[in-house]
Amino acid sequence: MAHSVQHEDALIRRAAQGDAAAFDCLVEQYTPRVYALAYRMVGNSEDAQDIAQEAFVRVYHALPRYKGEAAFSTWLYRIVTNVCYDELKRRRRRPATFTDLEHEEGDARAETLAGGESPEDAALRLERRRAVQAAITTLPEHFRAVLVLYDLQGFSYQEIADILKQRVGTVKSRLNRARNLLREKLEDCRELFPTGGGPTS
């Protein structure tokens, strides 16, 4: 782990000095989580790709000013979240496109083949995923960010507080409120979820 951290630190230093290959390595390393965060925030694959690209452009230009006061990942996800906020200000949520749905269905089929899941179970899981994502994208932005970062991306309270520049207590209260709002929004499709099961579990 220490070697990995040292390797990343070296990449960051080199990228900040204009080393394109080092920056490309950082992009490759972080793209999956950056895209996942953006997708959960905006609910659209094409927009998420645009957000990821814009976020990395901002990171590239800001890197020379990165002083390491926060962990690189915290600094990066703060930028990604801000780009998501910018996008949400420009456009409100749109219905999922055919391409998005086709992509999700392809993922579900692949997971069925890989895990031996029945077609019925795969279809139910896909329906749950769609319902949850649709509900998430109707939440107010500050609640949405906390829910996505904690329940779906796995960040700790402290990490989220650092990313959003909020107090830990604020993060916890917003997460509780976001979960309650999500449950309310999913009431109409509660038959998709087992009794006692959380929609983001």
Q: Which of 46, 61, 90 delimits the end of a domain? A: 90
Q: Give the pLDDT of residue 131.
A: 82
Q: At what angle do helices 119-136 and 168-185 cross, to 10 degrees?
A: 120
User: 113 with 180, same domain?
Assistant: yes
Q: Give the pLDDT of residue 105.
A: 44
Q: Give the pLDDT of residue 35.
A: 95
CB contact burial 126-135 (16+ within 10 A = b; e otherwise)? bebebbbbbb
User: 143 with 67, same domain?
Assistant: no
Q: Number of folded domains in the chain?
A: 2
Q: Give the pLDDT of residue 107.
A: 44
Q: How many residues does the chain have?
A: 201
Please indicate, yes or no, if residue 79 is contained in any of the structural domains: yes
Give, in order, the Cα–Cα distances in Å from 84 to each of 35, 137, 173: 11, 12, 22
User: 85 with 12, same domain?
Assistant: yes
Q: d(Cα 145, Cα 120) in Å, to the nearest integer? A: 32
Q: Give the pLDDT of residue 89.
A: 85
Q: Give the pLDDT of residue 111.
A: 43
Domain range holding 158? 98-192
Low-confidence residues of the chain: pLDDT under 70: 1-3, 5, 91-118, 192-201
Q: d(Cα 16, Cα 139) in Å, to the nearest integer? A: 36
Q: Which of 74, 90, 106 delimits the end of a domain? A: 90
Q: Give the pLDDT of residue 129.
A: 80
Q: Give the pLDDT of residue 94.
A: 52
Q: Give the pLDDT of residue 115.
A: 54
Please indicate, yes or no, if residue 197 is contained in any of the structural domains: no
Do 153 and 36 contact (CB within 8 A), yes or no? yes
Predicted structure pTM score: 0.76
pLDDT tens figures, 8-54: 889 999 999 989 999 999 999 999 999 999 999 998 889 999 999 99
